Amino acid sequence: MSWKESNCHTTILRNAEAGKYGVIAAIAYNIEQVLGLVRAAETARSPLIIQFFPWAIEATDGLLVRTAAECPWRVWPSWATIGF
């Protein structure tokens, strides 16, 4: 399987194109923003791509990325069966 087929971002964007809807790609600078973005996406039942600047990842020793990666599985446990 190529990276284009296994990359969750391209999967999200392909699904959005097919379904004729948009996907927000928001930048988060701290954990509070990550949680707020995920809660907003959950409320709207909308897909979300969270982006980080490299300095924010380094400054938090990767905690932002780990938090963002964990949130969807807690919000929508069924995603684990989708293959993201």
When pLDDT is averaged across residues 41-45 and rounded to a whole number, the result is 85
Which pLDDT does position 74 carry in this prediction? 62
Which contacts qualify for 21-27: CB closer than 8 Å, 24 or more apart?
23/47, 23/48, 23/49, 24/48, 24/49, 25/49, 25/50, 25/51, 26/50, 26/51, 27/51, 27/52, 27/53
The more confident residue out of 49 and 82 is 49
Q: What's the pTM?
A: 0.70
Q: How confident is the model at residue 11 (pLDDT cuts 50, 70, 90)?
A: confident
Q: Where are the domains of the chain?
A: 26-84
Residues 18-32 pLDDT 10s: 999 999 999 988 888
